[in-house]
Amino acid sequence: MLKRELLDILVCPKCKGKLDYNDKDDELICHKCRLAYPIKDNIPVMLIDEARRLNG
């Protein structure tokens, strides 16, 4: 789990929008861009090319 302080300052690298933490899949979600950024070994991977596209 990421610290709240880190979650509060991280933004989507594509749109600079707010990210929500998905603890089930351990990833950060940008609802505006429909991208999910993975968290590996407690480190957010904030690369657009590494993000998963959300369905819908």
Q: What pLDDT does residue 46 have?
A: 97
**Own/partner pairs, 4-9, CB within 8 angstroms, 24+ separation:** 6/44
What is the reported pTM?
Answer: 0.90
Tell which CATH classification among 3.30.70.20, 3.40.50.720, 2.20.25.10, 2.60.40.1080 matches the domain 4-53: 2.20.25.10
How does residue 6 score in pLDDT terms, banded at 50, 70 and 90? Answer: confident
H-only helix segments in 1-56:
4-9
Angle at 19 between CA 3 and CA 53, to 5 degrees: 125
Tokens representing residue 7 in the block: 């979650």
Strand-pair partners of 27: 22, 38
Q: Average the pLDDT over 28-54 and give the result.
A: 96
